[in-house]
Amino acid sequence: MEAERRIKQVMAEVLEVDPASIREGFQREEASSWDSMAHLRLVSALEETFGIRFTMREVGEMERFETIRRLVMERLPA
- Specify the CATH number for the domain of residue 25: 1.10.1200.10
Domain that holds residue 47: 2-75
Prediction pTM value: 0.94
Distance CA 65, CA 32 (A): 15
pLDDT in tens, the chain (78 residues): 899 999 999 999 999 999 999 999 999 999 999 999 999 999 999 999 999 999 999 999 999 999 999 999 999 987
Q: Considering only CA atoms, which of 51, 49, 54 is closest in space to residue 68? A: 54
* Total number of domains in the chain: 1
